């Protein structure tokens, strides 16, 4: 493309030189006079010069179109990677239909209960500064928390009362779902550092 522009520019300079230098005396004037004689009159010579300039200008305009430009292409930007939010798996599990079913969901509820119980024991050990055995006893008898829902979920032996059934139903949950969610919230709240105590 650059070579074509140089050629077109040189042709334009030659035509301009002929137009300027051919009007006086000298070898170019003789050449212009010969061209005028060959064409018949000086108006046709000017038309030929103007046509040549028009061709050069048109070629320059066409070569400068944006479609003829070559530019470096930037690489595609990196896209953010979607990662699940913390606790999304837990929310999905306790929100599943299976978790809420009375008999079919027993194994799922027990699996969640065991994981929460382990976490509750660990949190109690750290927050109370006691041994694992003492923390296990506190979790088993519900002394690890003041939340009755959390204590009842980990003990697994306290059936839901009618008011609890009604309250959970109004929130669109089963008592097990509410207790599991409250247990997880209590574990997080009691974790060292969660209350800004380091």
pLDDT tens column, 24-53: 676 777 777 787 788 888 788 778 878 887
Query: Is 82 part of any domain?
Result: no
Q: Are 195 and 189 in contact (CB under 8 A)?
A: yes
Q: What is the DSSP string of the chain?
A: -HHHHHHHHHHHHHHHHHHHHTTSSSHHHHHHHHHHHHHSSHHHHHHHHHHHHHHHHHHHHHHTSGGG---PPPPPPPPPPP-PPTTHHHHHHHHSHHHHSTTTTHHHHHHHHHHHHHHHHHHHHHHHT--HHHHHHHHHHTTT-S-HHHHHHHH---PPPHHHHHHHHHTT--HHHHHHHHHHHHHHHHSTTTTS--
pLDDT of the residue at 22: 64
Q: d(Cα 5, Cα 182) in Å, to the nearest integer?
A: 77
pLDDT of the residue at 37: 84
Q: Mean pLDDT throughout 71-76?
A: 80
Average pLDDT along the chain: 80
For residue range 13-24, list pLDDT tens digits in order. 776 776 676 666
Query: Is 20 part of any domain?
Result: no
Query: Is 184 part of any domain?
Result: yes
Query: Is 185 part of any domain?
Result: yes
CA 13 to chain CA centroid, nearest Å: 54
Angle, helices 148-155 vs 132-141, to 10°: value is 110
CA 42 to chain CA centroid, nearest Å: 70
pLDDT of the residue at 186: 92
Query: Is 138 part of any domain?
Result: yes
pLDDT of the residue at 68: 65
Domain span holding position 172: 88-190
Query: Is 72 part of any domain?
Result: no
Kindly state the tokens that stand for 94.
Answer: 């306790």
pLDDT of the residue at 69: 67
Query: Is 157 part of any domain?
Result: yes
Quote the pTM value.
Answer: 0.54
Domain count, the chain: 1
Q: Is residue 90 scored above 60 in pLDDT? A: yes
Burial-class residue 87 by CB neighbours within 10 Å (0-12, 13-18, 19+): exposed
Q: Are 34 and 18 in contact (CB under 8 A)?
A: no
Q: Mean pLDDT throughout 68-85?
A: 79
pLDDT of the residue at 198: 46
For residue range 103-142, list pLDDT tens digits in order. 777 888 888 999 999 999 999 999 889 999 999 999 988 8
Q: Is residue 2 scored above 50 in pLDDT? A: yes
Q: Are 49 and 19 in contact (CB under 8 A)?
A: yes
Q: Which residues contact 93 (CB under 8 A, 6 or more apart)?
A: 99, 108, 112
Mean pLDDT is highest, among 31-40, 59-68, 116-125, 162-171, for 116-125
Q: Is residue 157 scored above 90 in pLDDT? A: no
Query: Is 64 part of any domain?
Result: no
């Amino acid at each position: 493309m650059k070579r074509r522009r140089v050629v077109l520019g040189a042709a334009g300079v030659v035509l301009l030189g002929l137009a300027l230098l051919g009007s006086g005396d000298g070898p170019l004037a003789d050449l212009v006079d010969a061209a005028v004689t060959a064409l018949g009159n000086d108006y046709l010579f000017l038309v030929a010069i103007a046509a040549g300039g028009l061709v050069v200008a048109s070629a320059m305009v066409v070569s400068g179109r944006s479609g003829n430009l070559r530019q470096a292409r930037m690489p595609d930007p990196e896209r953010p990677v979607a990662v699940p939010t913390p606790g999304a798996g837990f929310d999905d599990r306790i929100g599943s239909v299976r978790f809420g079913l009375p008999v079919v969901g027993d194994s799922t509820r027990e699996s969640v209960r065991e994981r929460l119980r382990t976490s509750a024991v660990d949190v109690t050990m750290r927050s109370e500064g006691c041994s694992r055995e003492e923390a296990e006893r506190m979790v088993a008898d519900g002394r690890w928390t003041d939340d009755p829902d959390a204590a009842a979920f980990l003990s697994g032996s306290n059936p839901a009362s009618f008011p609890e059934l009604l309250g959970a139903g109004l929130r669109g949950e089963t008592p097990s779902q509410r207790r599991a969610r409250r247990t997880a919230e209590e574990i997080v709240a009691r974790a060292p550092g969660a209350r800004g105590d380091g």
